[in-house]
Structure 1
Amino acid sequence: MQQKSANDIRRHVSDSYAKVAESSSRGDSCGTATSCCGVSDDAAINTLISTRLGYTEEDLAVAPEGADMGLGCGNPRAIASLKPGEVVVDLGSGGGFDCFLAAREVGESGRVIGVDMTPAMVNKARANAEQGGFDNVEFRLGEIEHLPVPDNTADVIISNCVINLSPDKPQVFREAFRILKPGGRLAISDVVAGTELPEEIANDMALHACCVAGASLVDELETILRDAGFSDVRITPKDESRDFIRDWAPGRGVEDYVLSAHIEAVKRVGV
């Protein structure tokens, strides 16, 4: 992909999610931000969206108000097997929802770092952390292609429907590999393409922000992960996800091409 095109995508995605964060903070309508995957300005709708993605009522109750923005395509914690004392990094942390849930599992001896490229999202997440008294969570401004995290920091990397938004996925996974400790693992929910995307979908800028146009084919994604150094790569598509993906772009038939998947991999010791 040409650099200009990649920058255009990043700018459009950042602008779209800034509108989500700002409108959510004001409590008014999302307007054009409704093009983002699963997002709504209605808390009740966000609760419905999140329970469809695999979160429990308890999950929704313990997170600070406003952290659950209905963004995502799954529940990465369902495959993360988090343990007390672990360090977790969330790629594209948004309002901090997954970070706060992870913080409860790693406990006071653990730490959670959320990274997001949108200043408005980082500000919102920091306010949510202060509101909820989460001392073991911090949020950093940065691109997931250039993580503001030192080498060998994380035990686990989680992410929820964000990596598809990047125009440089090989760089994202190289960075993920860099910051993982030896033996560290990926536990990611994201969208993948079940078949080649038609040009009218792949080139639609709105569908990039809608978590559709940037989806990679499963075989392509497996190759990217292995080339980055990961072992034990496992990508598990979820056919049932087509039901909620249909709602991201009604009438466009995007559910015929993309679906949610669990993406798991390990940075082996000695690498």
Structure 2
Amino acid sequence: MPFKLSGFLSDPFAISTISFGIITWIVAIAGAAAADSSKFPRFTWWGLVYEILLILVILSLYLYNIVELYKFTLVGLLSIAFVYTSNSTNNLIYNSNDSGSLCCGAGCMLLSMLNLTLIIYFGGHPESPTNQFIDSFSLKSHNHNHLNDNKYNNHNLDDDEDNNEFKPFQQPPAMTTPQQVQSQSNLRQSQLTTNNHLKSGTPYMSSSQLNGLENFSSSDVNNRDLTNFNNDETPTMTFRYKAKALYSYDANPDDINEISFVKDEILQVDDIDGKWWQAKRSNGQIGICPSNYVKLLD
């Protein structure tokens, strides 16, 4: 859970709402300090303290890029803050003529509007029109190590040479013959064996490790019985839904899992629980796409 300032700065909605909240809180607390303390409602002080703590919590979640994991918790906390600020607004504006109280009441009214906006956003489904519209302005397209990113263990992780499994959704180039499949499998196995020996301090492979490779030729693959072809080498993926691209998207060149597409293109999609979906283009290319760039079709 690394601290990343970009997790906050790349989201215009987070910048605008948190900045607005801090400014209005300052207005409210300044009015409270200038108000007549004998007539000032005490629960408003508690509400203002609670409000600034909540704003700082939301800011921290954005900075650690884990706000998606606490959306439902934030809805409950913001509902409590909305009760504080709305009641304070009613008491300060309608039950007092003191200028300080009126200033604090104005700040509490703005905080109530902020709390209601955040409740609608955090309580909404990621595929709702309002959330998709707000998220479309986010600059996090190429920095997706949150949300559904946790599901794929941060698919931007560096290659682990000791791991014999491929990255999620990492597909080999389009293969039409068993020869290409066998060639890639042999190359992968050779790379893993070589890396293991380099790490162990052994620069060369022993003759026993070459058994079965010295007599290998392409004719062995050509004579292979296609009926015995192992389907596990080319895993198939099922796509249950179709989606239409709302905007064009260029994949991050540093991330081999992403795919590019153009506006109005029809994609086959699946695993649509998070913000990054499995997708397949009409040309057969498979990868992941940002959910706020596409719309599910009926």
- Per the TM superposition, whether the score is higher than 0.5 is no
Higher relative contact order at CA 8 Å, sep ≥6: structure 1 or structure 2? 1
Higher relative helix content: 2
TM-score (norm 1): 0.22
- TM-score relative to the length of structure 2: 0.20
